[in-house]
């Protein structure tokens, strides 16, 4: 049976509370290792800075708040499986009975793609991007990156890469609801390729190498998404066929969203 609007809001509130608790537990655990985590975050920059150079902070509480932010982001990443799982559980009532078994695979794939995108940014894009920026230093100009500015810049990039890598999952659900089809994705391929380079130019440092390093994975993900869209379309047609038959494949009940 369908839930009333207030019922959906109550369920959403409960799932948000669970996500907040998961992030809080991760935050507390990460705070004990905040200094080590921050050292890990700045490794790509330290690797390209001249020997003896270091980051600076210009007001007394800056490092303390930076450690808090590092702990929070780490807690968020650690809680990603719980967050995606709760998200898919919230969506599940709108799925057919025979689709609900995919909730856990969806949660796992969303987590893997998000973390994989962040790791790609850290290990592949950061070294080239920071090398580009530090390269502006010369005998007259010296780079003095601040802790606050570095943290803000690096976290934005990591989150951007994580979100961008969710493209296959987004395409799957757009295909499930009929918003896109494999044929449409193929026809719009040239525009998608152009958009990937535009997105790469916006989200990465302004040099050709790092822009291409983001655009190439995006193009690859787009091609993968076409295959996923085709799979989703077949599943939708199969579910529609079951619905017309009026019998759920697993439970023998009407195959309709609950």
The pLDDT, as a whole number, for residue 87 is 85
The pLDDT, as a whole number, for residue 74 is 94
The pLDDT, as a whole number, for residue 103 is 75
Find out whether 163 and 111 touch, Cβ atoms under 8 Å: no
The pLDDT, as a whole number, for residue 206 is 64
The pLDDT, as a whole number, for residue 83 is 92
Question: Rg for the chain (alpha carbons), in Å?
Answer: 22
Distance CA 123, CA 175 (A): 32
The pLDDT, as a whole number, for residue 245 is 56
Helix axis angle, 167-176 to 208-245, nearest 10°: 30
The pLDDT, as a whole number, for residue 213 is 77
The pLDDT, as a whole number, for residue 27 is 96
- Compute CA 203 distance to the chain's CA centroid, rounded to the nearest angstrom: 14
Nearest partner of 204 among 128, 106, 139, 102, judged by Cα? 128
The pLDDT, as a whole number, for residue 234 is 76
The pLDDT, as a whole number, for residue 252 is 43
The pLDDT, as a whole number, for residue 72 is 95
Whether pTM exceeds 0.85: no
Ranges under pLDDT 70 in the chain: 1-5, 92-101, 204-207, 235-258
The per-residue DSSP string of 82-99 comes to HHHHHHHHHHGGGS-GGG
């Amino acid at each position: 049976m369908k839930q009333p609007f207030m019922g959906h809001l109550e369920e959403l509130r409960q799932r948000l509370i669970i996500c907040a608790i998961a992030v809080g537990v991760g935050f507390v655990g990460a705070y004990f290792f905040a200094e080590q985590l921050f050292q890990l975050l700045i490794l790509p920059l330290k690797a390209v800075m001249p020997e003896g150079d270091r980051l600076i902070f210009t007001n007394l509480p800056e490092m303390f708040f930076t450690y808090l932010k590092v702990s929070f982001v780490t807690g968020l990443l650690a809680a990603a499986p719980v967050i995606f799982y709760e998200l898919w559980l919230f969506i599940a009532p709108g799925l057919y009975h025979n689709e609900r078994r995919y909730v856990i695979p969806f949660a796992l794939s969303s987590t893997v793609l998000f973390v994989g995108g962040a790791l790609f940014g850290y290990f592949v894009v950061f070294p080239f991007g920071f090398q580009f920026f530090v390269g502006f230093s010369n005998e007259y100009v010296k780079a003095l990156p601040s802790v606050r500015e570095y943290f803000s810049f690096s976290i934005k990039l990591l989150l951007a890469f994580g979100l961008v890598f969710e493209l296959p999952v987004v395409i799957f659900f757009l295909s499930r609801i009929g918003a896109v089809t494999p044929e449409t994705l193929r026809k719009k391929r040239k525009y998608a390729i152009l958009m990937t380079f535009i997105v790469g130019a916006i989200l990465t440092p302004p040099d050709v190498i790092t822009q291409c390093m983001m655009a190439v994975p995006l193009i690859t993900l787009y091609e993968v998404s076409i295959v996923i869209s085709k799979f989703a379309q077949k599943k939708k047609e199969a579910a529609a066929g079951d619905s017309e038959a009026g019998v759920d494949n697993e439970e023998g009940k009407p195959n309709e969203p609950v």
